[in-house]
Amino acid sequence: MRALTVVPGAAGSLQLTELPDPEPRPGELVVEGLVVGVCGTDREIADGEYGWAPPGRDRLVIGHESLGRVRSAPEGSGFSAGDLVVGVVRRPDPVPCGACARGEFDNCRNGRYTERGIKELDGYGAGLWCVEADYAVALDAALERVGVLMEPTSVVAKAWEQVRRVGERAWFEPERALVTGAGPIGLLAAMIGVQQGLEVHVLDRVADGPKPALVERLGATYHHGDVEEVAGKLQPDVVIEATGVGSLVFAAMRNTSPYGVICLTGVSEPGRKSEIDAGGVNREMVLENNAVVGSVNANLRHYRQAAEALAAADRDWLDGLITRRVPLDAFAEAFEAGPEGVKVVVELEGGR
């Protein structure tokens, strides 16, 4: 079978590699890879800026946004041939730390967690892959075209859960949310915000392309103006920041309603400096009881929440988030980021 592999740390090393079919260990499913989504993390790995190969190897099979069809499943696993499944990204650290021991590996404390397609474990960008039944999530057969959105949806399900939990340290009935960035994370965060009954606003820099209509179709409001102006007028109770752009992060922190919760989900490039009025930001945070929370990854509870959110969403709308489906042989095109498209996926050979 062919897989998308990369030498972490070596820019330009992404290639299609012929690999032996994987052998399932006890308790594992064998899955035919249908598609794999490509996100900013994958582009960073392909650019040699992130990622770790499995110990003792140079190459890592890339891909953590999975979707596949079960070829074989162990007896009693709860899965059977033909089921549509997604593989969970992270595995607990071997110690394990207190969080990992409690199934909260998304909040691992010692950094020794591993991640499929990112950190020391082969990913899902292959015609065939194996996954432990305990880390596979079944999807409704009707979600075949959009099930690859499960992993990014789990990331935003976690972000919303964090917002609620932080908010609930006192009375909390948020009404208005601002999402900065209309990429897949931002749009899926907006979708969950609307599902929760909030008035949702989405800010992005582009004025054309599919993003404005996708936001309007959700029943949310699209903005492409200056962040200070937009957030200043809206005074949102909740901000989900999905760009990682430093100036947006601080503008969001300065412009929430009192008791605002800001959830940061964008992984930014370090080393970019910008001037901020740190005293002013601190003053506002203290005098308004604001809270900022960073959020990454997702545990099994968040995958279940994501499955519910996807099941409740409009299937056509979800389909519209996938703006490009690239055949495996043209994989390189999927790793070129464009400002206007939303989600790009690569079609795998298990899907043929």
Q: Which residues contribute to the site for ligand BGC (CB under 6 A)?
A: 39, 41, 64, 89-90, 115, 118, 151, 155, 296-297
Q: Which is nearer to ligand BGC, 122 or 151 (CB)?
A: 151
Residue nearest to ligand BGC (CB): 41
Q: Is the CB of 230 or the CB of 342 nearer to ligand BGC? A: 342
CB 129 to ligand BGC: min, Å: 16
Edge-first strand order for the sheet with 60-61 is 15-18, 2-6, 60-61
Which parts of 58-110 fold into alpha helices (H)?
98-101
Given the complex with ligand BGC, which of 41 and 256 has the nearer CB atom?
A: 41
Nearer to ligand BGC, 71 or 112 (CB): 112
Residue among 105 and 331 whose Cβ is closer to ligand BGC: 105
Least distance to ligand BGC from the beta carbon of 6, Å?
A: 14
Backbone φ and ψ of 259, nearest 5°: 65, 30
Query: Taking the complex as a whole, how short is the minimal distance between the CB of residue 109 and ligand BGC, in angstroms?
Result: 15
Residue 72 forms beta bridges with which residues? 30
What is the smallest separation between the CB atom of 80 and ligand BGC, expressed in angstroms?
Answer: 27
Alpha-carbon distance of 205 to 228, in angstroms, equals 13
Tokens of 291: 């809270």
Cβ at position 274, least distance to ligand BGC in Å: 24
Task: Report d(CA 165, CA 210) in Å as an integer.
Answer: 33
Judge contact between 258 and 163, C-beta under 8 A.
Answer: no
Contact 295/264 with Cβ under 8 angstroms?
yes
Q: How far is the CB of 54 from ligand BGC (least distance, A)?
A: 15
d(CA 347, CA 351): 7
Cis before 174? omega within 30: no
